[in-house]
Amino acid sequence: MKKILLVLDAAHIDTEIIHFACNFASLSHSTLTGLFYGNYEEEQPEVKMEFGAPYIEEPPVYSMGPNITLQQLEEHMTQFKSTCAVRGVRCDVHFDNTSYGSESIITESRFADFLIIKASATRERKLKDTPTPFVKDVLAAAECPVLVAPASLSEIKEIVFAYDGSRSAVFAIKQFTYLFPELSDKKAVVLQVNKDEDMPVTEQEHMGKWLRLHYSSIGFQVLQGKASEELFAYLYDRQHAIVVMGSYGRNGLSELIKPATASPLLKTINLPFFITHC
């Protein structure tokens, strides 16, 4: 992996998620691109007359919504670069000043290996719910794997693979493993939720053999019941873990990874979620 995108609100610098992203960049020796989003427009200077001659009262000012100027944007970009420099991470910056949409981020994701975004990221002035519509749009259309970061972040010590036997779930597991071979020493758990109490883990033998080629410690956990409820209960008190799931917002998904399941998890579980499409 060589290029990681970090989606950042240009109006509010978030040093915690920058350090979190730096951890992944350091781990994989990748360049971290700060993708700042916001909206600004040039305010035309007001021309006034005094003593029969026109004059400009103030120089042009660029504003991003009600709270940020171009100078503040530059300060936030400088702070991002400084944080990366202190962490020894190569970095780049890109500013998206387009209208309220995720199109620019999707375009950037096409040429990136990995994207990190906070569940609360939004272009709206008030945060109504998480994950926000903005984040859902990114998840549904991103052209690289996405990591949705929670409100508070911590060291990763365990990997939970949400597995339902589908092609999408296997693809997510492989993508995560290929992107982060440096996490091979972490505990890996393959979690499956079945309605049938007697159903074995789908393709457990094949999956186990493949995982043992990449991880030093793996385990399988089978839960019985409704996927959304059981997955929530399993993850609720978990700490220092990252959850790997298949496609988000695509047709033909299993119950485990439908938006109806993933969205409540992203809202209530304080863990990072790695989600990708096949």
Beta bridge partners of 162: 191
Q: What is the pLDDT of residue 60?
A: 45
Q: Which fold has domain 158-275?
A: Rossmann fold (3.40.50)
Q: What distance in Å separates the CA atoms of residue 25 and residue 33, rounded to the nearest whole number?
A: 10
Q: What distance in Å separates the CA atoms of residue 177 and residue 1, rounded to the nearest whole number?
A: 11
> Quick one: average pLDDT of 88-98?
87
pLDDT band at 254; cut points 50, 70, 90? very low
41 burial via Cβ count (<10 Å: 0-12, 13-18, 19+): exposed
**Cβ(3)–Cβ(112) under 8 Å?**
yes
Helix count and strand count (H, E) for the chain: 8, 15
Q: Is 212 helix (H, G, I), strand (E, B) or coil?
A: helix
Q: What distance in Å separates the CA atoms of residue 89 and residue 22, rounded to the nearest whole number?
A: 7
Out of 20-34, 45-59, 90-104, 234-248, least confident range: 45-59
The set of residues, in sequence order, having a beta carbon less than 8 Å from that of 16 and lying 6+ positions away, is 152, 153
Q: What is the pLDDT of residue 166?
A: 81
Q: What distance in Å separates the CA atoms of residue 267 and residue 253, rounded to the nearest whole number?
A: 20
Q: What is the pLDDT of residue 216?
A: 95
Domain with CATH 3.40.50.620 in the chain: 3-40+68-149, 158-275
State the amino acid at position 144 in one-letter form.
C
Select the highest-mean-pLDDT range: 143-147, 199-203, 219-223, 254-258.
143-147
Q: Is 268 helix (H, G, I), strand (E, B) or coil?
A: helix
Q: What is the pLDDT of residue 53?
A: 60
> Quick one: average pLDDT of 77-100?
88
The 10s digit of each residue's pLDDT in 255-272 is 444 555 566 777 788 899
> Quick one: average pLDDT of 131-147?
89
Q: What is the pLDDT of residue 126?
A: 63
What end-to-end distance do the CA atoms of the chain give, in Å? Answer: 18
> Quick one: average pLDDT of 193-222?
82
Select the highest-mean-pLDDT range: 10-14, 47-51, 215-219, 254-258.
215-219
Percentage of residues in the chain having pLDDT higher than 70: 77
Residues found in the chain? 278
Pick the closest to residue 142 from 9, 277, 36 (CA basis).
277
State the average pLDDT for the chain: 82
pTM metric for this prediction? 0.84
Who has greater pLDDT, 37 or 92? 92
pLDDT reading at 195 higher than 60? yes
CATH of 3-40+68-149, one of 3.40.50.300, 3.80.30.20, 3.40.50.1820, 3.40.50.620: 3.40.50.620
Q: What is the pLDDT of residue 227?
A: 78
